[in-house]
Amino acid sequence: MKKVLLLYFAMCLSLIGMAQSNEIVGKVTDESGFPLPGVSILKVGSTVGTVTDIDGNFSINASSGEELQFSYLGFKSQVITIGSNRELEVVLEEDVSNLDEVVVIGYGSATKRELTGATAQVKGEAIEKMNMPRVDQALQGKMAGVNISTNSGAPGGTSNIRIRGIGTFGDNDPLILVDGVIYDAAGLNALNPNDIESVNVLKDGTAGIYGVRAANGVILIETKKGNLGTKPRLDFNAYYGVQQTARRLDLLNAREFAILKNEAFAAGGQALPFNNVELGEGTDWQDAVFQESPIQEYNLTVTGGSEKTSYSIGGSYFAQEGIVGGPKANFERYNARINFTTEIAPKLKFTNVLLFTREQSSTLPQGGIGSVLYNTINAYPTEPIRVGDRYSYLENVNDIINPLAQMENAYNDSYVNKLVGKEELEYAISDHFTWTGRAGYNYALVDAKTFNPLVWYGPGKFANSARNADLDPVLVDVGGLEIERGANVFESRNTFLDYNLETFLNYNRTFADLHRVKGMVGLSLVGNRSEGLNGTGFNIPNNDLAFADISANQAPGGFLNGVGSFQSRQRLTSAFVRGEYDYKQRYLFSAILRRDGSTNFGPNNRIGYFPAISGAWVISDEPFFNSGAIDFMKLRTSFGVSGNDQIGLFRYRGLLNGSATYVFNDLIVNGAAIGNTSNPDLKWETTYQTNIGLDFSLFSNLDFTANYFIKNTKDLLFQPDVSALLGAYGPGGAPPVINAGDVLNRGVELELGYASNRETGVNFSADYNMTFLKNEVTAVPQGFEFIPGAGFSVGGNVASRFQEGFPIGYFIGYQTDGIYQSQEEIASSSVVQAGAQPGDLRFVDHNGDGVISFGDDADRTQIGSPIPDMVMGFNLTADFKGFDIGANVYAALGQEIIRNYERQQPFANQLAYNLNRWTGAGTTDTHPRLTTGATRNNVFSDFFVEDGSFMRLRNVQLGYTLPLPVSQKLGTQYFRFYLAANNLLTLTKYQGFDPDVGSGNPLFAGVDNGIYPQARTFMAGLNIKF
């Protein structure tokens, strides 16, 4: 409002100014050349001043030698001495370390100066520059304490966001609010990273304003909004890129394969499979499977504002095809959004946020045994891709199928239509009271279709659905009737609605210019409701995708067809209050209390209270503080309690959702059985977090933030094994969810930011962040030694565990100590290792009893952890004379990965490291002999665990911005084009496709089943403003 008045005033002034003789005229723009309206210009040492108009133009009377000061919120002030030039081009530089920058916190906002909690921010531009499909991918390495790992590099693949470590066995996702609307982590696919204005993460106990959902931290994302009194501005951004695999595995070629297999079969006492080993290179299955594929995005936004209304309206299209599968691993997103704010009556502001998204995706089997890449790795090179007019069968390995045939038969599509919005009223009751009421909703309609044609991958393949190579259907006997079971199609339509209704009152008053008091009290109702219907139709005509719809099914009598449905709802009611006080903005205190009631718990434990307190001391404001170098220094501390209720619905009660089926009269009949066992005393997990932090700025261009935190999560919600006596292990049965077990996360976070002064001509900024984290399980439920996690190999041992005294999901197995070189060495060894032969791995007798025990845990020990000791990010930008470069580096150090993509089968292909196998005394002390006979070399040991540390150049970009006159000639205000590469370089010792191996389940983290790797992408793009 004020700005608008000033603007009006400015226009008047400039009219008057026209008549003056010693008039200075000019234009103020930001660094990208965009005009800045409302910049105040003051003649130094006087009260004469003006402001820029809507086009950034100004005029003022001034004579040579006089100084003009230009200032604008969010930008560094600049003083210019008038010389002979009567026409000025002023470029204001954004103030990156602005302590007055407003940051969104829960139910309110605060300046950086005032913050008492530990937070981290990323601005929209930094996200935009990454050119990542999803915002979470763009956040990797951007903030200390926020660790992002990748579940899959496939288009539409998701990441895990973990704030300050892994606190629980269950749901570790933070609470994500986009413009105050709840998103789940997977739902971030709907958001175009280009539309994001800022991301703010609440990391410590002050996140407790969100109570029972805040234990994993809170991410507050704001999308772009318009500014009042600005001309419409059109932004067009586009890029097109080509993706390829960043790495291929070093596998055996046909000749090497034949030699090694002959050796292994001979050692196993079996006939040699290859009479002739001179088979050359053979088939390179990776060559056949990996392809180059496109990625592209186009984005158009209009922003602006009138006196009372501001808006940002835009649309975008994004498309990515897979480097495996191409269009069969595809993700497309269409976005349309309208954000506007208007003053509908004096003091009454209405805000609307609306986003419509359509996502289309296709997926291939990935990330596990039986995935396309798993088959690619294990397919042997002596088999051609095709035999005659069909794909080859790879008959020598039972459960490996031809990956190309597999891709051809995969039809797995989903369509998401999503409407996300918020309506908000803000009423300024008086100078000190503001009331806000809002309703948010996130509604998704998800359609999925999977077509399962009749397939034949060769004799005995588990994935066959046809009876034979002629694709004759299996015959099914239904009550004496023989029915053909043909191709089928599965279709589902599910809807998910998340909603929140919130009302809160803010109070803000400063007494005697010294004591400021802020208060907030509010209520909220958060809920979700989901429903779904699904069906399967059999005997799709002609085994053809063209008829793949339930309506086309030809199942005789409909006997084989199936239907299903689900519905669920949950609610959370909350009341919350926050009080803040500061004295001269030097001593700051804040206290929070939140009361939550969640439907996920029974009446015994439904209501929870979550308090938090925090305080800060701005040391640099003290009179005694006298350091020229240090501009600002603040010490912060906080303690808070928050919860986690994300355990699934109605787990406190026993429901008849178990499975009960038997066969009477040769037909399957359905009955009823108890599903999960009840626990009426179930309650939320509680996280107690203490944080101590220090912020300071040096030389006005160096910012430093450090945090130390202790995060103690207690009463973990999980379903540990229970005694067989409870009878919880029938089909559909599950043990009760209980509260037991504690996890401790401790860490240090450092953030360092540097921005050069503009005077040098080179604009340079760099920031670096690092997080040290130590994760430890400090208690497991009574009566349990550990909770088992991921399995190793097929039918093999449990490789990861949740166990007291160890990090979550640590790897347990046998430690090796070289290779037994000879029979004498085995005989003379002080340790008895049953079945050991020369060339076998020598295991360490961990308990020192002289025997390697394979039947129990006595000799198994920690051989790795999937949790990095340290992660860090480094971001760099520089520009000079229109050129700009940027780079982003991410590193995770100290974690291990289990190599679990090797199928331990006699004929499966193997990695080239097997060429270094033991072949006789003294040949190697690292790689065991190869044999098809019985051996313990394949039990889970550190032989299968690799150093997973890596450092990755995630993004590097070189851009050029046309000089303003040139771009204006092109009819634009700003014109930049750039070349960029994502994932250009990775430094790692890890042998697999991608060392960034994440998992949503902390007990499966770091287990690489042949992860779909992140692509290397080369892109060219444009940013244009009109």
Partner 1 sequence: MKKIYQGLLILTLGMVTGCDSLLDIDPEFTQDAENFFNTEEDFDRAIIGVYDMMQPAYLNMWIGEIASDNAIAGGESVNDSRGLHEIENMTHGGVNEELRAVMRVNYTGIARANYIFENQENVDFEGKEVILAEAKFMRAYFYFNLVNYFGDMPLIVDRRISINEITNAARTPKATIYEQIETDLEEAMEVLPWTANETGRLTKGAAMAMLGKVLLYQSKHTEAAAILGELIDTNQGGYALFSDYSTLFYNENRNVSEDVFTIQFSGLQGGDYGCLVCLNGNAAVGFQSIRQYDGPLYADGNSYNLPTQDLYDAFEEGDIRREATILDLEAFIAAQPNPDEITYAIGGGGHTGYYNNKYIKRLNERGLPDDDLTSPLNYRAIRWADVLLMAAEAFQRSGNDDRARTELNKVRDRVDMPEVNSSDEALYQAILEERRLELSGEGFRFFDLVRTGQAADRISGFISGQHEVFPIPQVEIDLAGGIWEQNSGY
Q: Binders of partner 1 among 755-784, rule CB under 8 A?
A: 783-784
Structure tokens at 740: 């037991």
Instruction: Identify whether the C-beta of residue 614 lies closer than 8 Å to the C-beta of residue 636.
Output: yes
In angstroms, the CA 402 to CA 224 distance is: 47
Binding residues among 692-721 for partner 1 as defined by CB under 8 A: 721
Considering the complex, what minimum distance in angstroms separates the CB of residue 269 from partner 1? 10
Burial (CB < 10 A; 0-12, 13-18, 19+), residue 241, is: buried
Those residues whose C-beta lies under 8 Å from the C-beta of residue 438, and which sit 6 or more positions away, are 180, 351, 422, 423, 424, 425, 500, 501, 502, 503
Burial state string for 36-55 with b = 16 or more CB within 10 A and e = fewer than 16: bbbbbbbbeeeeebbbbbee
Answer yes or no whether residue 893 interacts with partner 1 by CB under 8 A: no
Residues 168 to 227 in contact with partner 1, rule: CB under 8 A: none
Smallest separation, CB 719 to partner 1 (Å): 12
Q: What is the distance between the alpha carbons of residues 786 and 804, in angstroms, rounded to a whole number?
A: 7
Write the burial class of residue 580 (CB in 10 Å: 0-12 exposed, 13-18 middle, 19+ buried). buried
Token pair for 370: 């039986």
Q: Is 345 in the site for partner 1 (CB under 8 A)?
A: no
15 C-beta neighbours (distance < 10 Å), count: 10
Least distance (Å) from partner 1 to the CB of residue 567?
5
Instruction: Measure CA of the first residue to CA of the last residue in the chain; give whole Å.
Output: 25
Minimum CB separation of residue 498 from partner 1 in Å reads: 16
Contact 645, 600 (CB under 8 A): yes
Task: Choose, by CB under 8 A, the member of 18, 345, 724, 827 that binds partner 1.
Answer: 724
Are 735 and 720 in contact by the 8 Å Cβ rule? The answer is yes
Q: How many CB atoms lie within 10 A of CB 499?
A: 17
Q: 3-state class of 251 per DSSP? A: strand
Span 31-70, contacts to partner 1 by CB under 8 A: none
For residue 4, the surrounding DSSP H or E stretch is helix 2-17
Nearest distance from residue 272's CB to partner 1, in Å? 14
Per rule CB under 8 A, is residue 18 in the interface with partner 1?
A: no
Q: Is 208 in contact with 195 (CB distance < 8 Å)?
A: no
Closest C-alpha among 139, 151, 145, 185 to residue 166: 145
Amino acid at 890: Y
What residues from 105 to 134 belong to the interface with partner 1 (CB under 8 A)?
A: none
CB of 88 to partner 1, least distance (A): 54
Q: Does 4 participate in binding partner 1 (rule CB under 8 A)? A: no
Is there binding between residue 548 and partner 1 (CB under 8 A)? no
Position 555: which residue type?
Answer: A
Residue with smaller CB distance to partner 1, 268 or 894: 268
**Among residues 4, 267, 302, 474, which is the contact residue for partner 1, using CB under 8 A?**
474
Least distance in angstroms from the C-beta of 484 to partner 1: 13
Q: Find how far residue 283's CA is from the centre of its chain.
A: 36
Of 88 and 455, the one with the shorter C-beta distance to partner 1 is: 455
**What's at 1014, amino acid-wise?**
Q
Provide, rounded to whole angstroms, the least separation between the CB of residue 656 and partner 1.
4
530 binds partner 1 (CB under 8 A): no
Q: Which region, judged by CB under 8 A, interacts with partner 1, from 8-16, 75-83, 202-210, 855-863? A: 855-863
* 533 is a contact residue toward partner 1 (CB under 8 A): no
For residue 674, which amino acid is it? Answer: I
> Can you tell me the distance from the alpha carbon of 721 to that of 801, in angstroms, rounded to the nearest whole number?
13
Q: Beta partners for 40?
A: 51, 71
Instruction: Decide: 886 and 957 in contact? Cβ < 8 Å.
Output: yes
Q: How far is the CB of 37 from partner 1 (least distance, A)?
A: 41
Selected from 796, 838, 882, 1000, the binder of partner 1 by CB under 8 A is 796
CB of 90 to partner 1, least distance (A): 50
**Of the two residues 37 and 675, which places its CB atom closer to partner 1 in the complex?**
675
DSSP string spanning 834-846? TT--TTSEEEP-T
- The nearer residue to partner 1, 855 or 971, going by C-beta atoms, is 855
Which residue from 41, 182, 722, 743 is in contact with partner 1, where contact means CB under 8 A? Answer: 722
Q: Nearest distance from residue 599's CB to partner 1, in Å?
A: 5
Stretch that binds partner 1, among 161-169, 316-324, 761-769, 900-908 (CB under 8 A): 900-908
936 binds partner 1 (CB under 8 A): yes
Nearer to partner 1, 610 or 696 (CB): 610
Alpha helix (H) residue ranges in 964-1008: 964-969
Give least dist CB 855 to partner 1, A: 5
Residue number with CB closer to partner 1 (522 or 995): 522
Nearest to partner 1 of 189, 677 (CB atom): 677
Sites for partner 1 among residues 439-468 (CB under 8 A): 459-460, 462-465
Is 508 a binder of partner 1 (CB under 8 A)?
Answer: no
Binding mask 649-688 for partner 1 (x = CB under 8 A): xx--xxxxxxxxxxxxxxxxxxxxxx--xxx---------
Residue 22 vs 565, nearer CB to partner 1: 565
832 binds partner 1 (CB under 8 A): no
CB of 940 to partner 1, least distance (A): 9
* Spatial separation of the C-alpha atoms in residues 660 and 675, rounded to whole Å: 10
CB of 399 to partner 1, least distance (A): 9
Cα–Cα distance between 552 and 543 in angstroms, integer?
11
Residues with Cβ within 8 Å of 628's Cβ and at least 6 positions away in sequence, in order, are none
CB 732, min distance to partner 1, A: 7
Residue 266 CB, nearest distance to partner 1 (Å)?
Answer: 15
**For residues 254-313, which are near partner 1 according to CB under 8 A?**
268, 270
Q: Is 495 in the site for partner 1 (CB under 8 A)?
A: no
Shortest Å, Cβ 492 to partner 1: 17
Instruction: Count the Cβ atoms, other than its own, within 10 Å of residue 56.
Output: 22
Does 395 contact partner 1 by CB under 8 A? Answer: yes
Applying the rule CB under 8 A, the residues between 557 and 576 that interact with partner 1 are: 567-571, 573, 575
CA distance 866 to 799: 12
Give the list of residues 6+ apart from residue 657 with CB closer than 8 angstroms, or none: 675, 676, 732
Q: Contact letters (x/-) for partner 1, 398-417, by CB under 8 A?
A: x-------------------
Per CB under 8 A, which region of 69-77, 753-761, 908-916, 929-937 contacts partner 1?
929-937
Q: Which stretch binds partner 1 (CB under 8 A): 44-52, 288-296, 596-604, 1003-1011?
A: 596-604
Residue count, binding to partner 1 (CB under 8 A): 95
* Of 61 and 396, CB closest to partner 1: 396
127 phi and psi angles, rounded to 5 deg: -75, -45
Give the range of 188-196, 594-602, 625-633, 974-982 binding partner 1 by CB under 8 A. 594-602
Nearer to partner 1, 189 or 574 (CB): 574
C-beta separation of 167 from 684 below 8 A: no
User: CA-CA distance, 213 to 218, in Å (whole number)?
Assistant: 8
Taking the C-alpha atoms of residue 873 and residue 752, their distance in angstroms, rounded to an integer, is 10
Q: What angle do CA 369, 372, 378 make, to 5 degrees?
A: 65
Minimum CB–partner distance for residue 730 and partner 1 (Å):
4
